[in-house]
Amino acid sequence: MTPILETRGISKSYAGIGALRDVAVQVGEGERVGLIGPNGAGKTTLFNCILGLLAPDAGSVRLAGDDITSLPVHLRARRGIGRSFQRIELFTESTVREHLLIAERVRRGNGSLWKDLLGRGRPKADELQACDAVLERLGLGELADEPIEQLSLGQGRLVEVGRALMTHPRILLLDEPSSGLDRQETADLAATLRDLQGEQGFAILLVEHDVEFVAAFTQRCYVLDFGTLIADGPTAEVLERAIVRESYLGSVKRDDL
Amino acid sequence: MVLATALGEDLSRAFLQGLPPGSVYALIAIGFVLAYKTSGVFNLAFGAQAYVSAALYFQARLEWGWGILPALLVSVFILAPVLGLILERLIFRHLRTSSSVAKLVVAIGLTVAIPSLFDVLVGFEPVAGQTPTGIIPGGASVFYQPVGVYAFSRDELMAMGVAVVVMLGLAALFRFSGIGLQMRAVVESPRMTELNGIQADRVSAFSWALSSVFAGLAGVLIAPRFNTLAAPDFFNLVVVAIAAAAVGRLISLPRALAGGLGLGVFIAFANTFLPEWALSYPILAPIQDNVAPAVPFLVLFALLVLWPAVRATKEQADPLSGVDPPPPSLASHERSAGLTVATRVFAVVFFLTVGLVVFTQADVSWLFLVTQSVILSTLFLSITVITGLAGQISLCQGSFAAIGGFTVFQLSDRYGMSVLVAALIGAAVAAACAALLSLPIRRLGGVWVAIATLAFAFFFDAVMVKLPWVGGGGTSLLQGTRVPRPTIGPWDLGNDKAFLVLALVVFVVASLAVIQIREGTTGRTLRALRGSELASQSIGISPARSRVMAFALSGFLAGLGGAMLTMHQENVNYTLNFSPFAALFWLVLVVSLGSRTVEGAAQAGAAYALFEAIVLRGAVFGWIFRNTDRIPGIFPISPKWRFIIFGLGTIQFARHPEGLVEFNTRRAHRRAEALMARLGRSRAASPPEPDAPVTEESVP
């Protein structure tokens, strides 16, 4: 079966210093995959190469078998790459519902200037319904009309997820979703994501610091260190391997002592 | 052989000729970079600061008969630093954590306000043709020829000498004093450096004073090159400085120095060789006079578009600036249904009354002003679109409007086309030009869009307007490019009242279109993009496409407004209506009154055309007392107060980006709602219900 997302031989260097060397990852349909590694391992660089924010020096990115390496960010998004942000990126001056609504409209391709001018640009009932259904599902129903500025960080992350869901993603890239959240909030987020994934069948690629979260949430994971993949396989196994403990978890343990 | 020597002589003469203005450009560029580095302010008002010192020097020498030294001392070494301190202390210090665009808007307001304020306070009146004098006796009449090919005037030698001394002094300051290092630290993050014990306020105040002295020096040195001492010339100067500073990516002082000198020499080359080439290539003839002054703008535009390093220069916003609360949503979205009805009824009654009075009572001159205000409101809707909706500062709306006006003129003049059709074509042409312009700058961030559009506005002003197929070329500009009023079937809009009706119809249609766009997908897309470009892309929005669309829309509205204005005045009147400096005031008006609503544009239009007549000339008192003889003696007040009041009005932009109109509407709504709640309570005599939060009744 073709993996939903695949990178082949991605390399990227900044000013001669290699940030990524020949990195190949695969995410299968409906899979939850983690990407871990110490700070500066190249996780964000890989992430940005997949999203199209950075152009890799070599290698290719494929979405469901199609080469998307040269597509701009927004076209990748339209093809089914949804994402959340480590430092949340929301649209100021908008309500919660408007965040989902704009994503819904872009997906449907309803945005033409002429339609706006003829007064057809206002939200339609079925669009609003679709947004409200997702908000309900995320437990944000009550907050639909709140200005986005009123929300807590955890709620903001949920809005990001909701916004990404409106694009009907085939894979959701989550960038450190637990940062800034406490344990309970993280667990709640993980539960919601797992449920949603069960219903809608999208895949998830998770970049995360919180090893516990990765262990509990993902089925498989990749470990990056100094721009190279040093391990991959079922999450539980990978986290047990000595090499991983040394490069990543080792430091955590030392700190604990 | 002879040819080669002649060429060599030309080259070296042009080189030497370029050095004196180049050193003044360098001074300005360095002063500009100093303020930018230490406060993150893209100080467009720098030219205004230079103007003030030059004007005071000029006034003291000529009017008050002071000697050179005292005049220089007061204008450059007292007035300039004091002005710098005032700007820093009263304005920019409080904006340190604001976005760079907010700071830019305030600086634009100051550009408009400061020269007028100075003129009013000192009683300075620029006299046409009275060339300012330099800071050395016989500056323009005594020449030296140290190298042989080019004779330097005393003024020019003085300019170069001052520049050298100042550079050495500055280098010493940075090398041997602690404050140089502190200045650099403050740039990174004022709040952070403060935590480290550096007094950011002191450093910032010091660099503003220093920067202002640079402005003053440059102003006094460059003034003898102008025929007349006028603020717009000094505004041009700051664009030259930005071009020079852009060579150093706005952060490197030595490169700004090199950039200034380089530009001076480059312009001198253009001045020397273009006329020769124009002899052999007649096609160059109409632009040869104008390319040289346009060089800085071309250089600036090219640098911005072609040199990624400039674009990549990090926006100097404080890393902690994200903690400021974002602007609130539109007041009209938050008001209750009852209040909405009340507001609409009031608006209809108000406008019917005003309309009735205007149509029955107004004489020719009032009718002219009212029509102008309606047309300008249409034009200002273009700023509502580009700045209010898309969040971009465009400083070339005047050029787009002029394109509309010139198109009407050309099509009706050459082909006898109906002016109304020509107006629509003009708007379309302006839209196309705006879209084209936005393509190369679509990836630029906030402040850079403003600067690139400003460069375009000056390029249009210096080159395009002079072309026969744009402005009519040569003399037609001066003689007035006449345009007839339209006729629609039986209606002859030569009648002023009929034309006012047309203007009103156009404005209403344009307003409805803007409202539809704001509430429709396009408006939502632009709002999303303004909120977060990254997140917008992540849901499939193409930033480039949306920006191009916003520019095209804005260009269309500006072109339409420009065409209407041209028909109304039966003339393009380019310099009066559409010059870059004039258009700067448009932005100031719209932004300080409200760039996000149609009401804001309408009030800005009214303010532009009517504020002077009604308020500054005291007509309002004439109406109140029903007798023009009883207008108090202090009227008429200088029309320059327009610029001062609205220019300074932009200062509140940083705190209330929604503008005065929105701010007051919101406050009025809150009061009205509180009042209605109280009335409702006392009438029902029921237990008080809690005040409903405003958002509960917002329109989705």
Q: CATH number for the domain including A255? A: 3.40.50.300
ipTM (interface predicted TM): 0.89
Q: Are A117 and B513 inside 8 Å of each other by CB? A: yes
Residue B596: name the closest of B668, B529, B661 by CA.
Answer: B661
Residues of chain A positioned with their CB less than 8 A from the CB of B543: 74
If asked whether residues A195 and A213 sit together in one domain, one would say yes
| Alpha-carbon span B123 to B666, nearest angstrom | 39
Residues of chain B positioned with their CB less than 8 A from the CB of A171: none
In a mutational test of the A interface, the residue from B509, B517, B539, B656 whose CB has the highest number of chain A CBs within 10 Å is B539
Q: How many CB atoms lie within 10 A of CB B411?
A: 20
Q: Burial code of B242-251, b = ≥16 C-beta within 10 A, e = fewer?
A: bbbbbbbbbb
Q: What average pLDDT score do residues B139-145 get? A: 73
Q: How many CB atoms lie within 10 A of CB A218?
A: 24
If asked whether residues A231 and A113 sit together in one domain, one would say no
A236 to chain B nearest CA, in Å? 31
Residue B694's pLDDT is: 39
| Alpha-carbon span B260 to B28, nearest angstrom | 8
Residue B684's pLDDT is: 58
Question: What's the N-to-C CA distance of chain B in angstroms?
Answer: 80
In a mutational test of the A interface, the residue from B519, B521, B526, B698 whose CB has the highest number of chain A CBs within 10 Å is B521
Residue A96: name the closest of A152, A46, A37 by CA.
Answer: A152
* Res. B697: pLDDT tops 50: no
* Res. A90: pLDDT tops 70: yes
Residue A40's pLDDT is: 80
- Identify the DSSP state of B76: I
B331: which strand partners? none
* Res. B231: pLDDT tops 60: yes
**Torsion from C-alpha of B271, B273, B278, B283, nearest 10 degrees:** -80
**Across chain B, what does the average pLDDT equal?**
81
Residue B504's pLDDT is: 93
Instruction: Please give the residue range of the domain that contains residue A108.
Output: 86-167
Question: What's the N-to-C CA distance of chain A in angstroms?
Answer: 45
Using a CB–CB cutoff of 8 Å, tell me whether A48 touches chain B.
Answer: no
Residue B286's pLDDT is: 62
More confident residue, B557 or B1: B557
* Res. B397: pLDDT tops 90: yes
The answer to whether residues B583 and B396 touch, using CB atoms and an 8 Å cutoff, is: yes
Residue A108's pLDDT is: 84
A229: which strand partners? A224
Q: Burial code of A69-92, b = ≥16 C-beta within 10 A, e = fewer?
A: bebebbebbbbbbbbbbbebbbbb
Residues of chain A positioned with their CB less than 8 A from the CB of B696: 145
The answer to whether residues A90 and A159 touch, using CB atoms and an 8 Å cutoff, is: yes
* Res. B432: pLDDT tops 70: yes
Instruction: Give B93-115 pLDDT, tens digit per residue.
Output: 888 777 777 888 899 999 989 99
Q: Are B540 and A74 inside 8 Å of each other by CB? A: yes
DSSP string over B84-139 = HHHIIIIIGGGGTTS-HHHHHHHHHHHHHHHHHHHHHHHT----TT-PPP-SSTTT
Using a CB–CB cutoff of 8 Å, tell me whether B12 touches chain A.
Answer: no
- How do the domains of chain B map onto residue ranges? 22-318, 363-616, 670-694
If asked whether residues A73 and A199 sit together in one domain, one would say yes
If asked whether residues A98 and A123 sit together in one domain, one would say yes
> At which of A132, A167, A202 does a domain end?
A167
Q: How many CB atoms lie within 10 A of CB A42?
A: 23
Residue B335's pLDDT is: 65
A231: which strand partners? A223
If asked whether residues A128 and A185 sit together in one domain, one would say no
Q: Are A111 and B521 inside 8 Å of each other by CB? A: yes
| Alpha-carbon span B557 to B578, nearest angstrom | 14
Q: Are A106 and B516 inside 8 Å of each other by CB? A: no
In chain A, residues 134-153 whose CB comes closer than 8 Å to chain B = 145-147, 149
| Alpha-carbon span A35 to B371, nearest angstrom | 65
The number of C-beta contacts closer than 8 angstroms across A and B is: 134
Instruction: Give B412-424 pLDDT, tens digit per residue.
Output: 888 888 889 999 9
- Indicate the length of chain B as a whole number: 700
If asked whether residues A66 and A186 sit together in one domain, one would say yes
Residue B195's pLDDT is: 64
| Alpha-carbon span B503 to B456, nearest angstrom | 29
Residues of chain B positioned with their CB less than 8 A from the CB of A180: none
Least confident of A143-157, B5-19, B682-696: B682-696
Q: What average pLDDT score do residues A200-218 get? A: 88
Residue A60's pLDDT is: 93
Q: Are A89 and B534 inside 8 Å of each other by CB? A: yes
Residue A5's pLDDT is: 93
If asked whether residues A44 and A69 sit together in one domain, one would say yes
Instruction: Give B319-341 pLDDT, tens digit per residue.
Output: 444 444 445 555 666 667 777 78
Least confident of B266-270, B438-442, B469-473: B469-473
Residue B237: name the closest of B250, B222, B256 by CA.
Answer: B222
CA of B519: which chain A residue's CA is closest?
A122
Residues of chain A positioned with their CB less than 8 A from the CB of B537: 72-74, 77
Among the residues of B190-252, which ranges form H helices? 190-195, 200-222, 231-247
Q: What percent of chain A has pLDDT over 90?
A: 37
Amino acid sitting at position A249: L
* Res. A152: pLDDT tops 60: yes
Instruction: Give A34-78 pLDDT, tens digit per residue.
Output: 998 888 888 889 999 999 988 999 999 999 989 999 999 999 999
CA of B323: which chain A residue's CA is closest?
A149
| Alpha-carbon span B659 to A5, nearest angstrom | 47
If asked whether residues A75 and A94 sit together in one domain, one would say no
Residue B615: name the closest of B641, B593, B596 by CA.
Answer: B641
Secondary element (H or E) of residue A14: strand A5-14
| Alpha-carbon span B295 to B176, nearest angstrom | 37
If asked whether residues A175 and A253 sit together in one domain, one would say yes
B360-365 contacts, C-beta under 8 A, 24 or more apart: B364/B496
Residue A129's pLDDT is: 92
> At which of A126, A146, A167 does a domain end?
A167
The answer to whether residues B567 and B488 touch, using CB atoms and an 8 Å cutoff, is: no
**Across chain A, what does the average pLDDT equal?**
86
- Identify the DSSP state of B335: S
Q: What average pLDDT score do residues B444-463 get? A: 86
If asked whether residues A151 and A101 sit together in one domain, one would say yes
Residue B334's pLDDT is: 63
CA of B527: which chain A residue's CA is closest?
A91
> At which of A167, A185, A201 does a domain end?
A167
Q: Are B516 and A117 inside 8 Å of each other by CB? A: yes
Using a CB–CB cutoff of 8 Å, tell me whether A105 touches chain B.
Answer: yes
Task: Select the residue of A94, A147, A163 nearest B539 (Cβ to Cβ).
Answer: A163
Q: What average pLDDT score do residues B346-350 get? A: 82
The architecture (CATH level 2) of B363-616 comes to Orthogonal Bundle (1.10)
Side-chain half-sphere CA neighbours of B194 within 13 A:
10
Of the ranges A14-23, B248-257, B551-560, the best mean pLDDT one: B551-560
If asked whether residues A153 and A256 sit together in one domain, one would say no
The answer to whether residues A56 and A12 touch, using CB atoms and an 8 Å cutoff, is: yes
In chain B, residues 300-339 whose CB comes closer than 8 Å to chain A = 325-329
Is B339 strand, coil or helix?
helix
| Alpha-carbon span B288 to B463, nearest angstrom | 9
Domain tally, chain A? 2
Residues of chain A positioned with their CB less than 8 A from the CB of B700: 95, 97, 123, 128, 145
Q: Are A145 and B516 inside 8 Å of each other by CB? A: no
Tokens of A41: 């391992």
